[in-house]
Amino acid sequence: MRREVIVMLVLLTTKAAADGFVVDKVYHPIVLPNEQRVEWRFMSRQNDERNVLAQRIGYGHSLSETLTLEAYVVGERDQEDNFGLQAYELESRWMITEQGRYWADWGMVFELEKQHKQDSWEVTSGLVMEKEFGRSSLTLNWFMIYEWGKDIHDEVENEFRLQYRYRWMPQVQPSIEIYTGEDFVGIGPALMGIQRFDGQKQLKWELGFISEVGGVTKDHTLRFALEYEF
């Protein structure tokens, strides 16, 4: 297991090829039995070329104790400042290992996305790893992406996401996040928390601000997410 982690951390420092929004959710490998979830994500990216505002709303349900399926609709503001439907997405998460059984927890993410009113498709497969060190957690995502269709050039891309989180208390957990993509390396602080209720009902929130490093132009991304599991 340690060898695979070292290899992926080395790859994280190399240049990856990815279009679109590199800064997004950092996935964790844990799946709860019989879970249902409603999720809302907000993202605002500002650089010298354009300002992007995107939102994502989804609903998910577990198919088994280790597998979930979620559906999303994605909205985005265009260059004329009109906000409208941008894409549809299906996402599945698979918990490969039992939590805490091995040196690290492992999972996978699979996504299928279709652009609204365009012949543009995207399929993603991702490996998810999480290792806990006392009250700290290291989470690593590695994604391979294939795009195809009449309205897009066929290409294969990859992305990396890393999150180092300190579990100070359930409701407040500061972290540092790193993202790499095409001509992009970003780093910044984030805060997240979880409030548990009766049974397995819980509310999660995340807030992060990621800035590109090493670039000659300004590129900042603010991301926020709310997720209710029941």
Q: What percent of the chain has pLDDT over 90?
A: 78
pLDDT at 147 over 60: yes
Mean pLDDT of the residues in the chain: 90
Q: Would you state the structure tokens that stand for residue 168, as one six-digit string?
A: 């100070």
Average of pLDDT values for 157-181? 96
Q: pLDDT at position 217, please?
A: 76
Q: pLDDT at position 2, please?
A: 45
The single-letter code of the amino acid at 197 is F
pLDDT at 43 over 70: yes
CA distance 131 to 140: 9
All structural domains of the chain with their residue ranges = 2-229
Q: Would you state the structure tokens that stand for residue 53, as one six-digit string?
A: 């505002």
Per-residue confidence band for 15, with pLDDT thresholds at 50, 70 and 90: very low
Q: Would you state the structure tokens that stand for residue 224, as one six-digit string?
A: 């926020």
- The domain 2-229 having CATH identifier 2.40.110.10: the answer here is no
Q: What is the DSSP string of 125-176?
A: EEEEEEEEETTEEEEEEEEEEEEESTTS--EEEEEEEEEEEE-SBTTBEEEE
Q: How many CA atoms lie within 13 A of 223 on its CB side?
A: 23
Average of pLDDT values for 84-94? 97
Per-residue confidence band for 44, with pLDDT thresholds at 50, 70 and 90: very high
Q: What percent of the chain has pLDDT over 70?
A: 91
The single-letter code of the amino acid at 6 is I
Q: Coil, strand, or helix at residue 198? A: coil
pLDDT at 173 over 80: yes
| Span 90-120, pLDDT tens digits | 999 999 999 999 999 999 999 999 999 999 9
Q: pLDDT at position 20, please?
A: 58
User: ∠ at Cα 61 (59, 62), nearest 5°?
Assistant: 150
CA distance 138 to 164: 5
Residue indicated by tokens 């990859």? 158
pTM value? 0.87
Q: How many CA atoms lie within 13 A of 207 on its CB side?
A: 7
The single-letter code of the amino acid at 175 is S
The single-letter code of the amino acid at 48 is D
